[in-house]
Chains A and B, each alone.
Chain A
Amino acid sequence: MTNERTAAADVRPPQPQGGKKFSRLRETCKHSYIGWLFTLPMTLGLLIFTFYPMIQSLVYAFAEYDGVEHFELIGLGNFIRMFTSDRREMIIVLKNTFLYAIISVPLTLVLSYMLALLVNKKIAGVGVFRVLYYLPVVIPSVVSGLLWKGVYDPIYGLGNSILNAFGLPSSQFFESEKSAMASFIFMNIFGVGGSMILWLSALKNVPPELYEAATIDGANGAVKLFCITIPLSTSMIFYNLITGIIGSLQTFNTYVVAANEGRGPNNSLYFFAVKIYNTAFAGMRFEYGYASALAWVLFIIVGLLTVFIFRTSKWVYYGEES
């Protein structure tokens, strides 16, 4: 039976089959052309401004290129350079970037979550405070950097006055390698209002029946927090964790506050993204090749971390329906 069928199919002349294929293609085009037309700008945009540059930067990564005329493929030369002649600076940059991410992401996560819990109460006028807490987020980041530079001025800034008022010793803030990173992390805490808004929406999605049931069972506030609220907002914790890590590894804001072209005292605020920028555009000669190799390394680090977090995300709860 099966053999017969195959045989019959083989006997058939190939011409109509080709025609069938062709008419299917025509059918598809007829069905699809409107959709294609609507999404054509995005297709073009992705090709011209994302995928083509990505391929280019991949080629640059294996080349020496000054952006003008000198272009020479050098194989793994750029990547070898990271581990040899540029090793010292690479270690500093990686250490700074990861140190910042490891401290800043969990710190912001916890603080903004606490802030959200704080203003999630049903008390008259609490909405006003939510708005106030969000206000620092609307300050443009350059302005925020410059204003903190003013606060942190060791002589004319208020930072030391405040420290002294609490009985703490004066600090050099951005001007000493010991305090630069801590000052930068502290300054970024003031943006917690942004994540607070996200938490609030997650907290609103927790069904109130759960709390009522817990109250009847005699659960206290802490039990409710750890057994209901936090487990039910894990999807938002996950989102904040991913975006936080991706964002913090690409931090460029230090460029505004740190002296020496965004390096800070003794390279103490020198971040990966700033190094890429400096390599490509700020040196005596432009080094597109090496900068592209660095950018791909950053991309791979971010990508691997994201995959890792997704792989270990069994603890995330996405609600009943999904």
Chain B
Amino acid sequence: MHQHVSAVLAAANRKKMTFEVIRHILWYIVYAAVAVVLLFPVAFMITKSLMTGTEAASLPVRFWPENPTFENYKLMFTENNYLRYACNTLIIVVFNMIAIPFAASVVAYGFAKTKFAGKNVLFVAMLSTIMLPSMVVQIPQFAMFSAFGWINTYYPMTIPNLFGGGAMNVFLLRQFMRGIPNELDNAAKIDGANAFQRYLLITLPLCVPILIYVMITVFNTYWSDFFGPLMYLKTESKYTLAIGIFRDSIQNSSVQKVPVRMAAGVFMTILPAILFFVFQKQLIEGVTVGSIKG
């Protein structure tokens, strides 16, 4: 009798298990199907970059290269000037990755940890600029930067960032700093630390997670920034990757040139992708801080 019951139970369990396994497999099939669709453009870029120019221009169209070759990844640096563009881009990116977190965290400390007259007015004024379509200020800015002699330099994409480092970044850092208990600040004050020391030695080290987020978004923004270089960079030797690959697409529009350009595209995507893989957690959390608490 007893044995009989447990046998029935085991059978039921086994049935449930197989049901679970089938359910899982079905889900994985759905997941994989969606992944195939969403990753198709990436795959297209990669396989195209492994073709020769003649293969890309031959019919019928093929997805897989017949004889995969890494030749294009050499050509982009020899026939085209992508190494130059990459170096130029890095100048802007590295400057901003240091300047923006620093500039924004100083301002954010002012908003989060000090009291001053006009704080709310300034904060609201700053936040309202996030909504402002950039087109409204871009034309006078262009006139201003022309007057400064900044055309065909990297100044328009770097120097303004020293002044506060962007409203969104200040906002994110302020939100984060408000979460740090004020007792730490007060204790340091009693010990005789001045405001700048408290910012640099107490608050800033605790902001590392959000600083990483800001740095990565800064990297992504300026690594792929198209509009700034389109407006301000006029000679080829000054081009960044984004404007370089765009001008390349206009000057070398024939199909044979597509594989080299796709190699450059892969090259431009690798760093942002690696950064995303490594800092997934901070990135997702940072996005969430910016949107939910906003």
Contacts and interface: CB of A to CB of B under 8 A. Distances in A.
A133 B38 contact: yes
Interface in A10-30: 28
Is chain B's interface secondary structure helix, strand, loop, or mixed overall? Answer: helix
Contacts of B276: 131, 134-135, 138
Interface in B83-120: 103, 106-107, 109-111, 114-119
B41 A236 contact: no
B131 A246 contact: yes
Given A41-B103, A138-B220, A236-B291, A299 B34 contact: no
Given A34-B195, A35-B116, A142-B224, A56 B143 contact: yes
A192 B28 CA distance: 20
A43 interface: yes
B131 A32 contact: no
A31 B269 contact: no
A151 interface: yes
Contact of B107 (A38, A141, A291): A38
A49 B61 contact: no
A155 B258 CA distance: 13
Contacts of B268: 140, 143
A156 B57 contact: yes
A232 interface: no
Contacts of B144: 53
Interface in B271-294: 272-273, 275-277, 280, 284, 287-288, 291-292, 294
Contacts of A141: 224, 226
Contact of B143 (A67, A160, A273): A67
Interface string B242-283: 100110010000010010011011001100110111001000
A316 interface: no
A39 B231 contact: no
A139 B42 contact: yes
Given A190-B38, A295-B133, A42 B170 contact: yes
B242 A53 contact: no
A158 B44 contact: yes
Contacts of A230: none
A57 B31 contact: no
Given A146-B265, A157-B61, A50 B245 contact: no
A131 B277 contact: yes
Contact of A46 (B35, B126, B261): B126
B139 interface: yes
Interface string B149-180: 00000000000101110000010000000000
A22 B270 CA distance: 60
A279 B143 CA distance: 14
Contact of B131 (A123, A255, A288, A306): A306
B63 A158 contact: yes
Contacts of B207: none
A183 interface: no
Contacts of A295: 133, 135-136, 138-139
Interface string A60-76: 10000001000000000
Contact of A149 (B27, B126, B224, B249): B249
A161 interface: yes
Of the four ranges (under 10, 10 to 19, 20 to 34, 35 or more), the interface on chain A belongs to: 35 or more
A45 B122 CA distance: 12
A146 B246 contact: yes
B246 A280 contact: no
A38 B137 contact: no
Interface in A150-203: 150-151, 153, 155-158, 160-161, 190, 192-193, 197-198, 200-202
B163 A201 contact: no
B44 A147 contact: yes
A118 B107 contact: no
Interface residues of B, number: 90
Contacts of A103: none
Given A53-B141, A281-B231, A150 B59 contact: no
The interface centre, meaning the residue of A36, A138, A156, A236 with most chain B CB atoms within 10 A of its CB, is A138
Contact of B117 (A31, A139, A277): A31
Interface string A221-255: 00000000000000110010000001001101001
A54 B144 CA distance: 12
Contacts of A256: 226, 246, 249
Contacts of B119: 35, 39
A202 B291 CA distance: 10
A14 to B, nearest CB: 24
A277 B142 CA distance: 11
A144 interface: yes
Given A136-B41, A139-B42, A151-B41, A123 B141 contact: no
Contact of B110 (A39, A273, A296): A39
A225 to B, nearest CB: 17
23 contacts: A37-B195, A38-B110, A39-B122, A44-B163, A50-B129, A50-B132, A118-B34, A124-B24, A131-B277, A131-B280, A132-B38, A149-B249, A153-B255, A158-B44, A161-B61, A198-B288, A200-B284, A201-B288, A246-B133, A288-B139, A295-B138, A298-B136, A303-B131
Interface of B: 24, 27-28, 30-31, 34-35, 38-39, 41-42, 44-45, 48, 56-57, 59-61, 63, 103, 106-107, 109-111, 114-119, 122, 125-126, 129, 131-144, 146, 160, 162-164, 170, 195, 199, 220, 223-224, 226-227, 230-231, 241-242, 245-246, 249, 255, 258, 261-262, 264-265, 268-269, 272-273, 275-277, 280, 284, 287-288, 291-292, 294
**Across the A-B interface, the 4 shortest Cβ-Cβ residue pairs:** A45-B163, A38-B110, A35-B116, A140-B224
